[in-house]
Structure 1
């Protein structure tokens, strides 16, 4: 019984993340943009939120990387 539950949960997680990848692809997040902290974070968050993207959720991340001192 426990093995069956784990399999079902595993399949649901894979489907959830696949829907998130589809949402990110539809928003052209994989289209050769310059890689920055914000763009990587936005893509990751879009994938993790999965089907919630289709309910109107449009996650965005804003971050700044500290510049080295001169």
Structure 2
């Protein structure tokens, strides 16, 4: 019985993420987004938000500070 729950849960997560990818595509993040950390982060949080995008959530990352490697 737990195997069927895992399959249903995996299917729900997959559907959630596909809806997020569709939302990011409708916002044209894949064709015209800036190629930097903030742009990639905005795409990622939009995909993770999934169906919440259609309920008014519009996640955006304005700035992203990535630590530089030591020299």
Asked if TM exceeds 0.5, the reply is: yes
Correspondence 1:37 to 2:57: no
Give the aligned partner of residue 48 of structure 1. 48
More helix per residue: 2
Moved over 3 A (4+): 64-67
Give the aligned partner of residue 15 of structure 1. 15
Deviation sequence 1:17-69 (CA, Å, 0-9, x none): 000000000000000544100000000000000000000100001224578xx
In the alignment of these two chains, the number of paired residues is 68
TM-score by length of 1: 0.87
TM-score by length of 2: 0.86
Unaligned runs of 5+ in 1: none
Unaligned runs of 5+ in 2: none
The RMSD of aligned alpha carbons is 1.8
